[in-house]
């Protein structure tokens, strides 16, 4: 929403991007995972400002989770995780026209995760996971003349290849 415009909302675009997940196992059940990826998002108005082109911003949401991996299920290795996210917004470009300046503030948020590896052998496997981030960054438009908060809370859905050392 935009504080100064009743009934307003803001929307961000969906995207598909590659992601790198790096996990460190403390033992066979407990691991820490760092999730890295970046994407460009288009921001538009909704509600009373429906159709307003606000601008574009690059998003870098590194996320660190602590995971519990269930064992004794053979090659199938499900896990759950929770952690923290710090999202960085960069290369912010206002749309022009009524929106001359765009500043989305970096923010911390919580992360939840559920996933599974299916190991093909001792080193190689397949992975699927779902992460939910809870992000509500504040933003300024036109040098602070308009302010607000964006309730993003994205779902990150992944599939990939696992290699264990």
pLDDT in tens, 98-109: 899 999 999 999
Beta-carbon contacts of 2 under 8 Å, excluding residues fewer than 6 positions away, are: 8, 10, 45, 49, 141, 146, 147, 148
Question: 113 and 133 in contact (C-beta within 8 Å)?
Answer: no
Nearest 5°: the CA angle 48, 52, 54 is: 120
Overall average pLDDT of the 122-134 stretch: 95
What pLDDT was estimated at residue 82? 98
Residue 123 region by backbone torsions, left for phi larger than 0, else alpha for psi between -120 and 50, else beta:
alpha
| Confidence class for position 35, pLDDT limits 50, 70, 90 | very high
- Counting DSSP H helices and E strands in the chain, the numbers are 0, 13
* Residue 120, token pair as written in the block: 């093909």
- Residue 6: pLDDT over 90: yes
- Residue 1: pLDDT over 90: no
pTM: 0.88
| Confidence class for position 140, pLDDT limits 50, 70, 90 | very high
Pairing of strands 30-36, 39-47: unpaired
Overall average pLDDT of the 48-73 stretch: 95
What pLDDT was estimated at residue 16? 87
Question: 22 and 37 in contact (C-beta within 8 Å)?
Answer: no
| Confidence class for position 67, pLDDT limits 50, 70, 90 | very high
């Amino acid at each position: 929403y935009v504080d100064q415009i009743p009934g307003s909302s803001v929307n961000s675009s969906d995207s598909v991007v590659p992601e790198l997940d790096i996990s460190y196992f403390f033992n066979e059940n407990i691991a820490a995972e760092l999730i890295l990826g970046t994407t460009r998002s288009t921001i538009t108005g909704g509600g009373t400002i429906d159709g307003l082109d606000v601008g574009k911003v690059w998003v870098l949401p590194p996320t660190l989770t602590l995971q519990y991996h269930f064992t004794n299920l053979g090659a199938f290795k499900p896990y759950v995780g929770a952690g923290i996210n710090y999202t960085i917004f960069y290369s912010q470009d206002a749309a022009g026209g009524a929106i001359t300046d765009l500043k989305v503030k970096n923010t911390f948020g919580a992360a939840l995760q559920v996933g599974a590896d299916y190991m093909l052998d001792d080193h190689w496997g397949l992975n699927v996971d779902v992460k939910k981030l809870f992000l509500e960054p504040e933003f300024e438009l036109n040098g602070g003349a308009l302010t607000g908060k964006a309730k993003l809370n994205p779902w990150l859905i992944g599939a990939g290849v696992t290699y264990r050392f």
